[in-house]
Amino acid sequence: MKRLITVFVIFLAACQSRQISGSAERVVSDTARNASCTYLTRDAAGRPVLSWVEQRAGEETGMLYYAVSPDNGETFPPGKPVPTAQGILPHGENMPKMIFRPNGEVIAMYGTQSNDPRNKYAGKVFYTLSADGGATWQPAVPLVTDTAGYDQRYFDMAVLPSGEAVTIWLDNRKPHKQEGSTLYIATTGATPGFHRERPIVQTVCQCCRTALYVDAQGGLHAAFRDIIQDTIRDMVHIFSKDGGETFTQPVRISADNWAINGCPHTGPAMVRNANGLHFAWFTMGGGQGVFYCQSPDNGITYTRRESISALPTAKHPQLAVLGKGDLALVWDEAADTSGNRIGILHKSADGQTLEREFLTPEKEFAGFPVVERVGEGVLVAYKKRRNGKEGIYVRSLKL
């Protein structure tokens, strides 16, 4: 009888395990060049948009390219350059981003080297505008013109319910000598470009990607790695119900207590569905790797964190909400010293794990995945090395 029960349990578990299916991976970047910094978004008509940076042989910087899918991610045409987005310093956590406003304006934002003697690692953020849906582009302008601002990095952008655009970024300007950067915010308005830049949080970790998210109710959420009590670098969440005019105080999504005086270079991911907010992040506090938690009450309380991979090398998580409220979580990890692979986790709307799979072999080098919902499935794009070149690859998956 005991053996029969064991066999039945194994059979039941096998029946409940579902295989993630989808298209074979396909390359979208120019295979004669190195490409990196992939990003997924949607245009004003709801079509998937994939962007990346391409570098010519021997060049350390690159140009921004993008492609709009005409068939919900099944295919992508050859990439179109954004000719005014050049001199981009490729960085998988500081990748260029694009947003498409309802009025037809497109904004492309990217990072460059600052070459400032006050900080040899400093960066500078630029953006370029297209008033006609990407047909023509205006000259790029710096996000910050204040001469005291010599280091801006790790930005994010979103479109508010009003149709205006909002951006946050890490900035060197601060009224104290404590470690860390200041989190700034700016919005578009009556005249083209971003205006009304202002600080919203001090002592933020200066080397991790920030996350900005507008929920279905119009609430504006930001997540980032904070510096707490001078030494702890944990992820926090803030919320604005007035379009970024005011924010709640930062609340830790998990008390990891990661004490480090260094640069993790891996930021948070955040989405919201009917069950609440969902987060994914990397830490080395109380365990190492990528973790997941949720908040049912808009960032007041949080569930206990859950490890999403058995390997401590898991990093660079990204999240997407599917059509029925389910979640897709992607990340990269090194299974051994010979490669780096992409993983995907399918969760129910309440955060229960349904499927887990690896999209690339562990012996290949793939990293920095991004994910976007298409229909009842997702698009996953990532950087991968093949034949001595790094390119941008994409897969359509049914979950």
pLDDT tens figures, 239-275:
999 999 999 999 999 999 999 988 889 999 999 999 9
Is the predicted pLDDT of residue 3 greater than 60, yes or no?
A: no
51 lies in which domain range? 21-398
Task: Output the DSSP codes for 160-212.
Answer: -TTS-EEEEEEES--SS-SSSEEEEEEEE-SSSSEEEEEEEEEEE-TTS--EE
Number of domains in the chain: 1
Is the predicted pLDDT of residue 1 greater than 70, yes or no?
A: no
Is the predicted pLDDT of residue 319 greater than 80, yes or no?
A: yes
Average pLDDT (53-76) is 96
CA-based nearest residue to 160, from 203, 202, 103: 103
Residue labelled with tokens 């599917």: 322
pLDDT at 21: 77
pLDDT at 340: 97
- 6 domain-assigned: no
Q: Please, which pLDDT band fits residue 312 given cuts at 50, 70 and 90?
A: very high
233 neighbors 194 (Cβ within 8 angstroms): no
Between 145 and 9, residue with greater pLDDT: 145
- 358 domain-assigned: yes
Phi-psi region of 54 (alpha: psi -120 to 50; beta: other; left: phi over 0): beta
Report in angstroms the alpha-carbon separations of 365 from 20, 234, 282, 349, 390: 21, 28, 20, 31, 9
Between 88 and 207, residue with greater pLDDT: 88
Is the predicted pLDDT of residue 297 greater than 90, yes or no?
A: yes
Percentage of the chain with pLDDT > 90? Answer: 89
Grouping H, G, I as helix, E, B as strand and the rest as coil, residue 23 is coil
- 10 domain-assigned: no
Is the predicted pLDDT of residue 5 greater than 70, yes or no?
A: no
The amino acid present at 36, given as its one-letter code, is S
Contacts of 300 (CB under 8 A, 6+ apart): 251
- 259 domain-assigned: yes
CATH number of residue 34's parent domain: 2.120.10.10
- pTM of the model as a whole: 0.93
- 8 domain-assigned: no
pLDDT digits (tens, 9 = 90+) for 94-136: 999 999 999 999 999 999 999 889 888 899 999 999 999 999 9
Average pLDDT (45-67) is 97
Per the structure block, which two tokens stand in for 393? Answer: 């690859």
pLDDT digits (tens, 9 = 90+) for 324-364: 999 999 999 998 888 999 999 999 999 999 999 999 999 99
- 15 domain-assigned: no
Q: Please, which pLDDT band fits residue 376 given cuts at 50, 70 and 90?
A: confident
Average pLDDT (274-288) is 97
- 82 domain-assigned: yes
Average pLDDT (31-45) is 97
pLDDT digits (tens, 9 = 90+) for 11-25: 333 334 456 778 899
Is the predicted pLDDT of residue 30 greater than 80, yes or no?
A: yes
Average pLDDT (176-199) is 96
pLDDT digits (tens, 9 = 90+) for 168-184: 999 999 999 999 999 99
- 86 domain-assigned: yes
Instruction: Round the average pLDDT of the chain to a whole number and report it.
Output: 93
Q: How far apart are CA 89 and CA 106, in angstroms?
A: 21
Per the structure block, which two tokens stand in for 266? Answer: 């891996």
